[in-house]
Structure 1
Amino acid sequence: MNIIIIGCGKVGATLVEQLSAENHNIVIIDIQESKLEAISSTYDVMTLAGNGASFNVQQEAGVRNADLLIAVTGSDELNLLCCVIAKKSGHCNTIARVRNSLYSKEISFIKRQLGISMIINPELTTAMEIAKILRFPSAIKIDTFAKGRAELLKFKLKPEFGLGNMTVQDISDRLKCNILVCGVERGDDVFIPNGNFVLRDNDSVSIMASPKDTAEFFRKIGVVSHRVKTALIIGGGKVGYYLAAQLLDMGIRVRIIELDRARCEQLSELLPKANVICGDGTDQSLLMEEGLPYAQSVISLTGFDEENLLLSLFAMKHSSAKVVAKVNHIAFNDIIGGLDIGSVIYPKYLTANKIIKYVRGAQNSMGSNVETLYKILNNQAEALEFSIRQESAITQTPLMDLNLKSDLLICCINRNGNIIIPRGQDYILPGDTVMVVTTQKGLRDINDILK
């Protein structure tokens, strides 16, 4: 596809990294030449210095022949204007990043009236991701499929579970739970396991199942799977506001610690059911006074990654809470992963993944379509959901007889709302949606799973 990206910030750079790896033709526009030079020295993309809302700049970037324009500058209004100009001059599909909470209530109107294909709010997306984890605090990460009927859940395999040194097949036979182990992270290594794969204590294990079967699995290994009842949010910015609103709707008691007094007053008006404390969230004595040792969840959402990580380590030491940290800039994923601080959320990856899912879907064949896409296993693998539209080489054939690519697992079939954790004798039918986990990058069609 011919793709124009306007804005070379965190999200723009992440999009270039991931979309260039899928061999798209990319032009990136930004007013800061230094950012463009850094991108062009690393990736094989065209760069253009200028205002992306300029008709002439878009023409120079090739908007007339573009399939997609993505506007991810720091200004909502500029992003919307870029998309409107692109629609009028190039007739391409458009995606805009819009962060203002006021606009979030008017998304459907804006899309319809301005003809924008997709609008993304990174802060709202981040808050929804965190709320999803707090519903099931034993998980490090949860990705949902089949409209919530199936989920891919990652957790740390602790010694007290008694599953270490057992094979995947042994676990299935012993627990008799309808789950499928479909990914394992061990240090820097990532595995798509078969039945003979041996798990070890402290592995990060990803399982696929329905929410009901997931809860049964955790009950059998002695893990509490109930959602949290209290949340201590450190940082009252956009993510903090969106998250608090969702948690309050879920019946969870919320405390927010925010340093800026004017923002505290604003949050008190917007969230009358929340307890808003004006203070420094990095003050250890304040955290202890405000009940950190007794909190069931602690979410660090300050504007500084280092603070969020250190606050999470402090919370792990002084409480048994579910801990979540937001990280915007820091690129040392392997080091952060080794800190064992619960769940780490990267807004730029969440935003980029949504856009990449859209791009894959736009490239689909007539036979199937990418409905859902997540980067998983430390971004070294993908979990995709394909909608099967018609008969093909993969339908009506037992899975055991399909010549699948290596490091690929068909882990779930949704058939008319019934979730099937497949075995060798199961098969795929038109009308199904099929979940696949693989380290093979760039799958666009269900037939791509075959050798």
Structure 2
Amino acid sequence: MRVVIIGAGEVGSNIASSLADSHDVVVVDVDSDRVEELNYSLDVLAITGDGASIETLEEAGVGEADLLIASTDHDETNLATCGTSKVLGDAFTIARVKQVGFLRTWERKSSAFGVDFMVCSNLLTAEDIVQIIGLPAAVDAEWFANGLVQMAEFEIAPESPLVGKTIRDADQFELLTFAAILRDDGVEFPRGDSRLAADDRIVVIGPRERVHEFALTASPSAASVGTESVFVIGGGEIGYQTARLLQERGIKLRLIEEDPERARELAEKLPETLVLQFDATDTDALERENFGSADAVVAALESDQENLLVSLLAKRLGVNQTIAVVETGEYRDVFEAVGVDVAVNPRTVTAEEITRITREETTEKLTFIEDDRAEVIEVEIGEDNSLVGVPIRESIPALPDGVVVGAIARERTLVSPRGDTVIEAGDHVVLLVDSDVAEEVIAAI
């Protein structure tokens, strides 16, 4: 498949990296330094130019492309690029936007703007945040199989009772699969005698109740984390969408916004949310609102520095769970290293969603673990699939090394994925796959 990607920032570069091994990829960016770096680091053709220009798109070969991905940081540029590409050919177009308004317009008529599929990074980020809130000690979480299955990643703290235990000893939860251990820079697919160590990150897959039970076992001190008291700091688009989704779940929350006009607007849009108008670094105001007793705080201000400051202040005042939006991808590890519980990067979230769309024919859903060390994918099993009718202990070894069956959903019921389990046509199977063999595995099934 020939793929043209417009924009070589964090989103475009991540997508190019995931597609370069198996597709003919062209990347366009206005920054010549980025272009030069990509030509050296990836097996792609990177060219300098304005992606919204018809001349640049012609140079990139959009007329012969199968897929065009517009992933710059500017919504209008991405929409113009998709519209222009339709003049040159019939490539399937994917546009990344930040503003939910563009998404709502496109949803009314899916051909609007010349866009075949639209990804809204602000909304995706808010959805990611909402999935993590209330799950003690989790650093990542995602739903699969229409909400039947949850994937969650937990960090094993030095004081956790799981330190030193084998997977066999820790596996006390029905229908829960221990899918991977992330240690240093590697991914280990655990066996019964695999032993957990402090600072490991473990990925589990199973029904929400079992995942939550495991969370309390992994971190008993976090048992009090709930959703009775949630603060959202910042009333920008991500903060607003997060509050809206939490409100829809029936969670009572408080949203802090410094700008008086924006605060009034949010109060009208969020009738079930208490909107407070003051500076979120005003410790006296925070103490009046019992900020330190909050179950969770979401920092969604306009800058990474402000979000870090608010999150650390929250931890110092005693908040159980802090989640911060981090616009710069390389800062994520820094945030978590200094004490922020979870750092969410909108560009990473967006790259995952766009990559999933490029595999839509075979995968129902996709998420990355630790950016790109492993992938969790959901596959609907067809009649002629190689996994059908064969016990897992025989079918999985036939695939490339680095695959774990995390869950099987059959007619809205979960089936335990054990060695003698036989996968049937129509099943939704959730797999954890080493990123190095992901494309090969997807092709094989």
Q: Above 0.5 in TM-score?
A: yes
User: Which shifted more, 72-81 or 339-348?
Assistant: 72-81
For 1:164 and 1:48, locate their aligned partners in 2 and report how far apart those are by CA, in whole Å. Answer: 50
Q: Specify the code of the residue in structure 1 equivalent to 2:269.
A: L
Mapped pair 1:433 → 2:432: no
Structure 2 CA distance for aligned equivalents of residues 212 and 153 of structure 1: 12
Asked if structure 1 preserves the Cα contact closer than 8 Å seen for 2:97 and 2:120, the reply is: yes
In the TM superposition, what is the alpha-carbon distance from 1:193 to its structure 2 partner? 0.8
- Per the alignment, residue 4 of structure 2 pairs with 4
Assess if the C-alpha contact under 8 Å between 1:192 and 1:438 holds in 2: no
Counterpart residue identity of residue 229, structure 2: T
1:359 lines up with 2:386 in the alignment: no
Q: Call closer, same or farther: CA 1:287–1:447 in 2, change over 3 Å.
A: closer
Say whether residues 1:380 and 2:373 are aligned partners.
yes
Q: Is the 8 A contact 2:411 2:427 kept in 1?
A: yes
**Pairwise CA RMSD of aligned residues?**
2.6
Task: Report the secondary structure of 1:107's partner residue.
Answer: helix
Report if the CA contact (8 A) 1:4-1:27 is conserved. yes
Amino acid at match of 2:407: C
The CA deviation string for residues 209-248 of structure 1, in whole angstroms up to 9 with x for no partner, is: 1123324445667564874122212222110111111112
Could you say which residue in structure 1 is the equivalent of 2:208? 211
What is aligned with 1:393? Answer: 386
Counterpart contact for 1:215–1:225, Cα < 8 Å: no
3-state SS in 2 of match to 1:443: helix
Within 5 Å, which residues of 2 pair with 1:171-182?
Answer: 171-172=170-171, 175-182=172-179
**2:233 aligned with 1:266:** no
**Aligned letter for 1:164?**
V
Structure 2 residue 122 is matched with structure 1 residue 123: yes
Task: Tell me which amino acid in the other structure corresponds to 2:393.
Answer: M
Residue range with higher mean Cα deviation, 269-278 or 200-209: 269-278
Query: Which deviates further from its counterpart, 217-226 or 383-392?
Result: 217-226
Q: Please tell me whether residue 278 in structure 1 is matched to residue 277 in structure 2.
A: yes
State the distance in 1 between where 2:303 and 2:408 align.
Answer: 41
Match of 1:346 in 2: 345
- Residues in 1 aligned to 2:419 and 2:359: alpha-carbon distance in whole angstroms: 28
Aligned in 2, Cα 1:399/1:447: closer, same or farther, shift over 3 Å? farther
2:404 maps to 1:409:
yes
**What whole-Å deviation, never above 9, does each CA across 1:231-284 have from its counterpart, x for those lacking one?**
212222110111111112222222222333333333233334333333332344
Q: Distance in 2 between matches of 1:260 and 1:36?
A: 39
1:341 deviates by 2.2
Deviation at 1:151, TM superposition (A): 0.9
* Residue 422 (structure 1) aligned with residue 417 (structure 2): yes
Query: Residue 28 and residue 262 in structure 1: after superposition, are their counterparts in 2 closer, same or farther (change >3 A)?
Result: farther
How far apart are residue 149 of structure 1 and its match? 0.7
Measure the CA separation in 1 of the matches of 2:442 and 2:286: 53
Distance 1:40 1:335 in 2: 28
Verify the 8 A CA contact 1:66 1:92 in the aligned structure 2.
Answer: yes
Amino acid at match of 1:398: P
Q: How does 1:24-39 map to 2 (within 5 A)?
A: 24-39=23-38
Could you say which residue in structure 1 is the equivalent of 2:191? 194
SS in structure 2 of the partner of residue 163 of structure 1: coil
Letter in 1 for 2:202: V
Q: CA offset at residue 95 of structure 1?
A: 0.3
Q: In the alignment, is the contact (CA less than 8 A) between 1:142 and 1:152 conserved in 2?
A: yes
Q: Which amino acid aligns with 2:390?
A: T
Q: CA deviation at 1:327?
A: 0.9
What are structure 1's unaligned runs of at least 5 residues? none
| Amino acid corresponding to residue 13 of structure 2 in structure 1 | A
Give runs of aligned pairs for residues 141-160 of structure 1, distance below 5 A. 141-158=140-157
Aligned identity (percent) is 29
2:202, 2:423 → 1: CA distance?
26
**Residues 107-139 of structure 1: per-residue CA shift (max 9 Å, x gap):** 322424455321011000000111111153442
What is the distance in 1 between the residues matched to 2:312 and 2:146?
A: 34
d(CA) in 2 for partners of 1:226, 1:396: 43
> Alpha-carbon deviation of 1:346?
1.1
Q: Secondary structure at the match of 1:429?
A: coil
CA-CA distance at 1:80 after TM superposition: 2.1
* Equivalence for 2:167: 168
8 A contact 2:225–2:321 mirrored in 1? no
The amino acid across from 1:124 in the alignment is: L
Unpaired runs of at least 5, structure 2 = none
Tell me by how many angstroms 1:446 deviates: 5.3
The one-letter code of the counterpart of 2:7 is G
Aligned partners of 2:297 and 2:311 also within 8 Å:
yes
Alpha-carbon deviation of 1:324?
A: 0.2
Contact 2:164 2:196 survives alignment (8 Å): yes
Aligned to 1:87, the other structure's residue is in SS state helix
Deviation at 1:185, TM superposition (A): 2.5
Moved more, 25-34 or 290-299: 25-34
Letter in 2 for 1:379: D
Cα distance in structure 2, aligned partners of 1:5 and 1:129: 25
CA positional deviation for 1:444: 4.1
CA contact (8 A) 2:161 2:217 kept: no
